[in-house]
Structure 1
Amino acid sequence: MPRITASSNAAQRENTQNAILRSFGDLLYTRGLTGLTMTHVAKNAGIGRTAVYNYFADMGELLVAYALDETERFINDLRTELARVDNPVDQLAVYVRLQIEDMSRRHLPPGPTMRSVLSPESFEKLGHHVGELQAVLAQILRSAIEQGYLPEADIGDLARLVHGSLSSATDRGQLEDGETRTARVEQIVTFVQRGLGARFDDAGRPVPIQGRPRLEQIAS
């Protein structure tokens, strides 16, 4: 890895911290959390092990920093992309696509594993950012219901259906690339939208549902 250079001490510290986070993310994706040490992270980043400890006290603190950084980046990117479309059903498609890409690109341990290696205070920090992401999805679903594009349903139930579909699809998506992957993602998008009761015209545009039924009435 090339030597990290910057025009000021503050920029140098930021560059070094970012290099550590990137190194940790690469290793987390390729080998997982089990057995991963600060020495591995430092060597992969091309810096001394002591330097890593200048930024992060232990692996738990590094894991939290990485997760928060990744989640914040994703939320910012998501909000930028959502602002480009108006219809909430189309926004749901944006959410699903970006989530699949993000879940396939990085490899954060599942919630129970995170809880087992983090202090309650650190785990609570992660929960705040996860809550932000959940709030974005909840607002999309709420708007879709209020505008008549989705049937009446509990927002929490709908959100669980969305994330359940994403979780089951991600592992298969990691094995694909190119046109096959793109087609798979679009299949998942359509599956989620129609599974929540969305309806479309012949041109594939979302249309309001007549009569404002509940989701279980459509499903039956």
Structure 2
Amino acid sequence: MPKISAPTIAAHRAQVRERILDAVASLTRDQGIDEISMTDVASAAGITRTALYNYFPDKPALLLAFTEQVTVNFMRRCEADLPAGASAARRLAGFVRFQLEGIIEHPHPAAAELGASLGPHAYQALADHVAPMQRLLVEIVREGTDSKEFDEVALEPTAKLVLALIGAQRLPLLRGETALPEAHALVTVFALRALGVTRETALEASRDE
């Protein structure tokens, strides 16, 4: 097992924890979250299974920590790549793209399947971790309605519908039945048209990189 040099025990633990979560990220690209075992993670991180349990007592705890990290990284990317000065249509298009890219980068089961795997308490904690993503989407829709770029809509239900559109592309993407650009255009144009955006503007936003 490779050694990790760190000035303090706390720094050492932080480095090992980062390696564990990096291992989960790597494994999800090949196996998907539902197929990963604690043994797989320990091996990929270069530590023993016993050592892994010193950081995460079980798989739900590990997946919750990983999900929190993914959410934090997503929010940072949105802050950097979805500037407040951009139109609501382009911000929504960017949000959709980042979410679809996340599905490809870290494959995961549908929410119901994941809930059954983790159990109700862990699933609620998971929902709490990803809540910032929904709040960001609600804010984008609010910006669009306030500026009259979007039609007046119920904010939270509309955000949930957009997330459902994104989720509907999960299996087609993972099965290779559709490519990212096609999925992005489909979801973005459909959502923006439903929000009252013209077809030309919706198409332009869907092509914006």
Asked if TM exceeds 0.5, the reply is: yes
Counterpart code for 2:125: K
1:4–1:12 Cα contact (<8 Å) kept:
no
CA deviation after TM superposition for structure 1 residue 182, in Å: 3.2
How do 1:15-94 and structure 2 match up within 5 A? 15-34=15-34, 36-83=36-83, 85-94=85-94
CA deviation after TM superposition for structure 1 residue 120, in Å: 4.6
> TM-score normalised to the size of structure 1?
0.77
Q: Which residue number in structure 2 is paired with residue 3 of structure 1?
A: 2
After superposition, the C-alpha distances for 1:190-214 in whole angstroms (9 at most, x for unaligned) are 2322232212668x778xxxxxxxx
Q: Which residue number in structure 2 is paired with residue 108 of structure 1?
A: 108
Q: How far, CA to CA, are the matches of 2:23 and 2:89 in structure 1?
A: 37
Q: Which residue number in structure 1 is paired with residue 167 of structure 2?
A: 167
Q: How far, CA to CA, are the matches of 1:192 and 1:3 in structure 2?
A: 49
Look up the SS of the partner of 1:54 in the other structure. Answer: helix
Counterpart code for 1:95: F
Counterpart code for 1:92: L
Counterpart code for 1:141: V
Counterpart code for 2:112: P
1:190 paired to 2:199? no
Q: How far, CA to CA, are the matches of 1:162 and 1:8 in structure 2?
A: 46
Superposition CA RMSD, Å? 2.9
CA deviation after TM superposition for structure 1 residue 143, in Å: 1.2
After superposition, the C-alpha distances for 1:123-168 in whole angstroms (9 at most, x for unaligned) are 3332222221111101110110111111112113321331122122
Q: Which residue number in structure 2 is paired with residue 199 of structure 1?
A: 198
Between the aligned residues of both structures, percent identity stands at: 26
1:156 paired to 2:156? yes
Look up the SS of the partner of 2:109 in the other structure. Answer: coil
Counterpart code for 1:193: L
Report the CA distance shift for 1:141/1:39 in structure 2 as closer, same or farther (over 3 A).
Answer: same
Q: How far, CA to CA, are the matches of 1:68 and 1:26 in structure 2?
A: 16
1:93–1:189 Cα contact (<8 Å) kept:
yes
Q: Say which structure is richer in helix.
A: 2
2:33–2:107 Cα contact (<8 Å) kept:
no
Q: How far, CA to CA, are the matches of 2:125 and 2:79 in structure 1?
A: 21
CA deviation after TM superposition for structure 1 residue 86, in Å: 2.5
2:189–2:199 Cα contact (<8 Å) kept:
no
Q: Which residue number in structure 2 is paired with residue 216 of structure 1?
A: none
Residues paired across the two proteins, number: 203
Q: How far, CA to CA, are the matches of 1:132 and 1:65 in structure 2?
A: 15
Which range moves more in the overlay, 102-111 or 27-36?
27-36
Counterpart code for 2:196: G
Q: Which residue number in structure 2 is paired with residue 215 of structure 1?
A: none
Look up the SS of the partner of 1:171 in the other structure. Answer: helix
1:104–1:171 Cα contact (<8 Å) kept:
no
Q: How far, CA to CA, are the matches of 1:189 and 1:34 in structure 2?
A: 28
Report the CA distance shift for 1:134/1:78 in structure 2 as closer, same or farther (over 3 A).
Answer: same
1:137–1:159 Cα contact (<8 Å) kept:
yes
After superposition, the C-alpha distances for 1:58-116 in whole angstroms (9 at most, x for unaligned) are 11211111111111211221122222643111111111111111122112333223333
2:193–2:199 Cα contact (<8 Å) kept:
no
Q: Which runs of 5 or more residues in structure 1 are unaligned?
A: 207-220
Q: Which residue number in structure 2 is paired with residue 147 of structure 1?
A: 147
